[in-house]
Chain A
Amino acid sequence: LLRGRRLFSVSVSHIQQELPGHVVKSLVGLLGADRLSFGSAIREQHGRDESYHADADGIFPPQAVIFPSSTDEVSEIVRICNHARIPIIASGACTSLEGHIAALRGGLALNMRDMNKILEVNQDDMDVRVQAGVTRIQLNEHLRDTGLFFPIDPGADASIGGMLSTRASGTNAVRYGTMRENALGLQAVMADGSIISTGSRARKSSTGYDLTRLLIGSEGTLGIITEATIKLHGQPEAISAAVCEFNTLEDSVNATICIIQSGIPVARIELLDEKTCAAIKTHSKLELEAKPTLFFEFHGSKNSVEEQAVRAGEICKDYGGSHFKWAESAEERTTLWKARHQAYYSIIAQRPGCKGMPTDACVPISRLTECIEETESDLASCGLIGSILGHVGDGNFHCILVLDPNNKDEIHAAHLFSERLAIRAIRMGGTCSGEHGVGYGKLKYMEEEHGSAAIHVMRGIKNALDPMGILNPGKMGS
């Protein structure tokens, strides 16, 4: 199926061994015994993320977990591990989705939860400097009376360091961008323990290689992010939300294209396919038709959000949209978007006792209809149950499969379906992961997506920055 596909295999034997005694001694000497944990529950917790890979492949726990509280401690820990060639897997909230933190070659999990200080809020410059373990909800609570907010909202309450490492995105990327656009600079510990600062607080700079962007999305394989300076945005003065049904998926995507091209600065535009709406109608008993439905949110001044909603409504009508409703007050907006917020749970509720397996594909928006339709017919022909949710403004959609964890055939069929989806997206000029990242689950598509020449360059960078191969080995760049 895939040219040059690497067969995925890992030797498990060394994972049973303990960390070398002299390494343990150095680490305990550095941090004390209570910040280095060997308990099996803690180890498993830190080797397992929110993906389905653990169910299929088993958990890859690290040999120990350490909780540093400063950049200097991280630097020393990395130095010790580099010297002893012990793998290090950094983690934050452990909510990644493709086995990012699985300790494939054993080693030490470095969890950043104690590095959770918000260091500096600069209101005039609209930026904030935080330690990597700060979570996005913690950051926004801290900022709530400043008039500023951090807009990126992936489903989990992820850590900023984790979000940077995976180049995370949220539901309002169409307006506010992803982590890639919102990071001004980082502080990171490299494989030899050296501490570097990247970027600057200036909004633009034309000096040097862009190390900030190199580290962002590198999933802990090139360096460990310890601090970050992030851009903030002004709280919208007013917000309006809208909902519209369409007769066909194609109509809803075309309406989206037209809305974006009209220059309407839509803040969120989410698509729920008819199966998802049907599931929500059944589960949440909301008044929703089983038709492709778009959910919008507009940010701006009071006049602007009304204008945006009205113009979007007119465009939707041109594409056969019906039952366009919009609202401004917080309670009414919550009601309009309730269906969207309930979507995941309603989808899972279709088969009690089953688990959801999300997929993630992103294509140019002009190919989105085709990609979703092919995916839906693939779904139908292999008899799997799944529903589609999309950040349609970015050409990104998630097909959530509802699987019986005990049905091996179904799981196998789901993996093959997921493979076909990844290849389909790549062949349409897109990517096999818009948001969820690579971890180890999507390693096998990297060459298909990037081509062997680019992969060769990536490996070169990895070898230059981590010659001992200790930073999250077995993942990207290995």
Chain B
Amino acid sequence: MRALVGVKRVIDYAVKVRVKGDGSGVETAGVKMSMNPFCEIAVEEAVRLKEKVRKEGCCLGCGIIKEIIAVSIGPAQAQETIRTALAMGADRGMHVKHDDILQPLAIAKLLKAVAEKEKPDMILLGKQAIDDDCNQTGQMLASLMGWPQATFASKVDLAGKDMTVVREIDGGLETLGMKLPAVITTDLRLNEPRYATLPNIMKAKKKQIDATDPAQLGVDVSSKLQTLKVVEPPTRQAGGLVANVQELMAKLKEKSLI
């Protein structure tokens, strides 16, 4: 069985994001970029499924994940993100080259095109990216593919083609059963991703990454959305000190707060 894992290159979560002077977007020049944390969890889950099933000595037809393909859509530097996935245990990579920011629907269409080529039995994605927080790609992809979707997964069990997934929902936990092929989006508590180790980083340099682009995949990625402006939240104003409760009450009344 084959797993396709989507990984997105985003601004590192530890960075203080700044808006560009012209309000057209956020500053990415010279800023540390990393794999989206939820994508890390997706890669880790795929690697564990590959390791786990091999350990239990499952035979053919029992659902061995034999191959993990890491796919990323983005500029040339997205290859670094794919290399990280390879260092974590993915077998090969696919880079869909495109320089502009793409909306989830475009990403979903591109992933569908990649999936039609690679024919995976499952697609794992992070539930959302920490830059746009959209939480749409997985759901749209499942719909385009006509596949079942298991979003916000906090536990995944595989037995042959039968998959049981526990999802985190508002009221608690929901358990779903479905047959592969399916789309899974990962939530925080699914696993703790491993660190890439030096030997694995070195091995990853030798793994194959194929390149393509939207035109070659036959996908129209023109956006129906236009970003008008991006602004930082207003800076916090210094507070005023008041001498006593009377002054506080007066100030509150003055500002029509009470």
Contact = CB atoms under 8 A, between A and B. Distances in A.
Nearest to A233: B198
B14 A147 contact: no
Interface in A360-417: none
Contacts, number: 38
Interface stretch (B18-26, B108-116, B189-197): B189-197
Contact of A145 (B191, B192, B196): B196
A147 B200 contact: yes
Given A142-B32, A147-B87, A235 B14 contact: no
Interface in B195-213: 195-201
A331 B198 contact: no
A141 interface: yes
Contacts of B196: 145-147, 235
Contacts of B34: 144-145
A331 B44 CA distance: 13
Interface residues of A, number: 15
A236 interface: yes
Interface in B154-198: 191-192, 194-198
Nearest to A138: B14
A330 interface: yes
15 contacts: A142-B12, A142-B14, A144-B34, A145-B84, A145-B195, A147-B87, A147-B196, A147-B200, A149-B195, A234-B199, A235-B197, A236-B197, A330-B191, A330-B192, A330-B194
Interface of B: 12, 14, 32, 34-35, 84, 87, 191-192, 194-201
A148 interface: yes
A237 interface: yes
A235 B192 contact: no
A147 B197 contact: yes
A237 B87 CA distance: 11
A147 B192 contact: no
A33 to B, nearest CB: 14
A347 B192 CA distance: 29
Interface in A144-160: 144-149
B198 A148 contact: yes
B28 to A, nearest CB: 17
Interface centre among A138, A145, A149, A234 (most CB of B within 10 A): A145
A330 B191 CA distance: 9
A409 to B, nearest CB: 41
A296 to B, nearest CB: 20
A438 B204 CA distance: 47
A78 B34 CA distance: 39
A452 B115 CA distance: 76
A235 B195 contact: yes
Contacts of A144: 34, 195
A32 to B, nearest CB: 16
A237 B14 contact: no
Interface in A59-105: none
Contacts of B192: 330-331
Contacts of B194: 330
A330 B194 CA distance: 9
A207 to B, nearest CB: 30
Interface in A320-357: 330-331
B197 A145 contact: no
Given A234-B197, A331-B192, 12 more contacts: A138-B14, A141-B14, A142-B32, A145-B196, A147-B201, A234-B198, A234-B199, A235-B196, A235-B197, A235-B198, A237-B199, A237-B200
B8 to A, nearest CB: 14
B203 to A, nearest CB: 11
